[in-house]
Structure 1
């Protein structure tokens, strides 16, 4: 594959080249990973910047409906919108339905929109490991807004905040005990809470839910990256397309303030460091899949299963005496030093 040519086509906004590039960065094959790194190196420093918006919410809250209505509003304003939707994968087969595109029928036909579903596989937080690289590709292709839809809400879901400029939490009204609807950890990283389905019989309930969350947000410790009044809660209706424009204006106001105050750039620098460290950790874990490492792990696992070793003791044994199986040459380098 000519990665330089592919990079040029992406910079020219070719959708097919973008789709091919995302497939490349999502591949786990060693040769594809090398080509993906080469491609991203060609695209580095392109100077384009999209607003990255992470979106999370409990299943059934209407994330796909909201994204379609919100995306149509943005494209109607002349903006180019990319949607990276992460689908949950089966723990047994590893497969995903990847049905997000079919649920966004209008937006999928819009020429200024690009929708890409990806499997979460086994990655923590409901975000595909290579979603961050897909965001970089969409940015290089000239998209103005990149929406990252995650699987659902949970403490591990906070990883989406490490790849987005703004993090939105979408909630539904009448969900029972409203302030127990999500974990505090999610509340603490949300930049905006949007109570969806504020229409029909649920409109009054949605307004009460919004007021409850607005009160809860005021009790949280103020963050340095927030101007006065943020984070805030708003009501929206994806079906009636009500409140979407107001929500977009608030997002723009928050992003503009963070740019002017230096928090926007600082946040992206921090995210770059986070993903570097994450890649190192993932690389070390991948070393456990080598033949020698698996053999050492299997022997120690037998000892643990038979009750001759404790789990912690066996893990220490692996790290102290079988490290060379994980990182060949490391012991020799250490002794030489």
Structure 2
């Protein structure tokens, strides 16, 4: 498959070549996996020059409307924008349920934008396992702003926060009500809370919400070099979209100057490597002929209470190492 993919076409910004390369990366075939990694290694020196922004928020908060408005604004300022939208997977077919290109019609038609919905395929928290590699490809293709949208449920926020430079949490103007229900962990991850749909009658309520969140963030981030900010926007009316970008640029400037950005990406790559080691060991373990033969036997023994899960697991590891 990769024989058709020329890395020079990706470096020239060919959207067709980029889409083919991502399909190769998402393939579960072992030969495709090897080809994809060879391609990534060639493109790695040309990557890393973007700002990676994670975007999350509860359903109904207007993520797609915000991403479209934000993306079009960035393009108007001369940027090239890639949107990696992680779709929930259908439990039946494993395919994407949501169609991001239909949700962001204007943005998807712009030559300076690239939108790629990826089914999560059951990976932890709904985050596509290949999102990191896809981001590298997009950077090599010349996209200098990478937006990674989460499905906004459970563990996915933590997964996305571990692969981006700036993590943005979208909220509705619901004053203290939503603050009571929001997970503290999400506030700990947030580099900014952006309150969307601040239009019409919701302006006063939004100001109260801003005060609530600002107070909460001061308590949670007492020593960080960056004090997370709360911004009020209206994606529908394009209000303060420029303010959000100005804030992210300030963050990036400060993070570059004090070495925080380099440190963050280095830690992310090290953590990613450790995670991949665990995943690859699991794959090799399940492919091992002796393990494949003995595993069902030991599972039956554990089910029947004839051995402990620990002893069964230990037997499997000893078989694998032998």
TM-score, normalised via structure 1 length: 0.90
- Shift in Å, 1:324: 5.1
Checking the alignment, whether the CA contact within 8 Å between 1:98 and 1:118 is kept in structure 2 is no
Checking the alignment, whether the CA contact within 8 Å between 1:55 and 1:148 is kept in structure 2 is yes
Name the counterpart of 2:76: 76
Name the counterpart of 2:36: 36
Q: 2:311 aligns with which of 304, 311, 317?
A: 317
Identify unmatched segments of 5+ residues in structure 2: none
Partner of 2:264: helix, strand, or coil? Answer: helix
Name the counterpart of 1:62: 62
Q: Go from structure 1 to structure 2 and tell me whether the alpha carbon gap of 1:70 and 1:221 turns closer, same or farther (over 3 Å shift).
A: closer
Checking the alignment, whether the CA contact within 8 Å between 1:296 and 1:318 is kept in structure 2 is no
Checking the alignment, whether the CA contact within 8 Å between 2:84 and 2:116 is kept in structure 1 is yes
- Tell me if 1:266 matches 2:263: yes
Name the counterpart of 2:19: 19
Name the counterpart of 2:50: 50
Partner of 1:19: helix, strand, or coil? Answer: helix
Q: Deviations over 1:272-316 (max 9, x none)?
A: 10111111011122234325434433222222322333xxx22x2
- Tell me if 1:275 matches 2:269: no
CA distance in 2, matches of 1:47, 1:234: 30
- Shift in Å, 1:97: 1.9
Checking the alignment, whether the CA contact within 8 Å between 1:154 and 1:186 is kept in structure 2 is no
CA distance in 1, matches of 2:5, 2:22: 15
Partner of 2:162: helix, strand, or coil? Answer: helix
Name the counterpart of 1:298: 296
TM-score, normalised via structure 2 length: 0.94
Q: Go from structure 1 to structure 2 and tell me whether the alpha carbon gap of 1:238 and 1:292 turns closer, same or farther (over 3 Å shift).
A: farther
Q: What is the alpha-carbon root mean square deviation over aligned residues?
A: 1.9
Checking the alignment, whether the CA contact within 8 Å between 2:55 and 2:150 is kept in structure 1 is yes
Q: Go from structure 1 to structure 2 and tell me whether the alpha carbon gap of 1:80 and 1:179 turns closer, same or farther (over 3 Å shift).
A: same
Which sits farther off after the overlay, 81-90 or 2-11? 2-11
Checking the alignment, whether the CA contact within 8 Å between 1:3 and 1:38 is kept in structure 2 is no
Q: Go from structure 1 to structure 2 and tell me whether the alpha carbon gap of 1:302 and 1:5 turns closer, same or farther (over 3 Å shift).
A: closer
Checking the alignment, whether the CA contact within 8 Å between 2:5 and 2:20 is kept in structure 1 is no
